[in-house]
Amino acid sequence: MTQSKIDLVTAQIRAVPDFPKPGILFRDITPLLGHPDAFRAGIELFTEAVRDLRVETVVAIESRGFLFGAPLALALGASLVPVRKPGKLPHKKRRVEYALEYGTDALEMHDDAIAPGARTLIVDDVIATGGTAKAAAELVKQAGGEPVGYGFFIELSFLEGRAKLAPLPVRAVLTY
Ligand code: AMP
């Protein structure tokens, strides 16, 4: 059952060489989005992978994280909080900056988005180095939530991003 779902999902992830830069093998999830049976199976797998964490809030990272975070939050009965690139959120917010390979980037979250102490899962489509997810967890802490784990649809294990997120549990549906 689970294996057949994994096969269904895996068949809809497209590997695109040299995007967005030479040497990067990009894992493209758009075929999955276009295949309702596979997308549903993927969200079911994702839900089961994180269910034991008993999360109250799902924090989804712009922008592909939204595509997984929203159905996952509904399936778990959790609240959904978007973490966005600077300048997009209208209300009072806080910001965290984080290092990229070259330079820095930043994420923002509404100040009142998370209930005090809420058990929170940070969600994105792909974990590469883990820097983006780690920054999102920092925002959760600053806002008074409790990060209890990370969920990714795809883990690029050779980049060892998981180590950056320790000791919190890291769950992934597919691993390359
Ligand atoms: P990182 O902060 O290094 O973990 O990067 C994570 C972000 O980069 C995620 O939001 C991914 O969407 C994106 N990303 C990085 N590498 C890839 C890849 N090979 N394929 C698809 N998305 C990627």
- Report the amino acid identity of residue 132: T
The alpha carbon of 50 and the centre of ligand 1 are apart by a number of angstroms equal to: 20
Domain boundaries, the chain: 2-175
Q: How far is CA 3 from CA 43, 57, 62, 171, 172, in A?
A: 14, 28, 29, 17, 15
Could you read off the pLDDT tens digit of each residue along the chain, which spans 176 residues?
Answer: 799 999 999 999 999 999 999 999 999 999 999 999 999 999 999 999 999 999 999 999 999 999 999 999 999 999 999 999 999 999 999 999 999 878 899 999 999 999 999 999 999 999 999 999 999 999 999 999 999 999 999 999 999 999 999 999 999 999 99
Selecting among 40, 48, 64, 95, the annotated active-site residue is 64
pTM comes to 0.97
pLDDT at 139: 98
Q: How far is CA 14 from CA 18, 19, 117, in A?
A: 13, 12, 38
Q: What is the three-class DSSP state of 33?
A: helix
**What CATH topology corresponds to 2-175?**
Rossmann fold (3.40.50)
The alpha carbon of 28 and the centre of ligand 1 are apart by a number of angstroms equal to: 10
| CA proximity to 140, closest of 47, 52, 61, 29 | 61
**Interatomic CA distance for residues 142 and 144, integer angstroms:** 5
